[in-house]
Structure 1
Amino acid sequence: MAGAENQSGAKKGDQDTESIRQRLNTLEGKLTEAKGLSQPPADAEGRGRAMGQAVKLSVELVAGVVVGGVIGWALDQLFGTKPIFMLVFLVLGAASGIMNVMRTAKTMQGEPMPGHHLRTQKARDAVTEDDED
Structure 2
Amino acid sequence: MAGAENQSGRPKSGRGTETIRQRLDALEGKLATAHGRRPPPEEREGRGKAMGQALRLATEMVAGVAVGGFIGWALDRLFGTAPFLMVAFLFLGAAAGIMNVVRTAKAMQGEPMPGQHLRNATDDDED
Q: TM-score with structure 1 length normalisation?
A: 0.64
What is the RMSD computed on CA atoms of the aligned residues? 1.3
For 1:95, the equivalent position in structure 2 comes to 95
- State the secondary structure of the residue aligned to 1:81: coil
For 1:122, the equivalent position in structure 2 comes to 122
Sequence identity (%): 67
Structure 1 CA distance for aligned equivalents of residues 126 and 44 of structure 2: 44
Q: Which sections of structure 2, spanning at least 5 residues, go unmatched?
A: 1-38
Q: TM-score with structure 2 length normalisation?
A: 0.67
Report which of the two has the higher share of helix.
1
Name the count of aligned residue pairs.
88
- State the secondary structure of the residue aligned to 2:81: coil
For 1:72, the equivalent position in structure 2 comes to 72
Map 1:21-40 to 2 at 5 A.
Answer: none
For 1:48, the equivalent position in structure 2 comes to 48
Structure 2 CA distance for aligned equivalents of residues 124 and 60 of structure 1: 31
1:105-126: CA deviation from partner (whole Å, max 9, x where unpaired): 0000000101101111111012
Q: Which sections of structure 1, spanning at least 5 residues, go unmatched?
A: 1-40, 128-133
**Displacement of 1:72:** 0.1
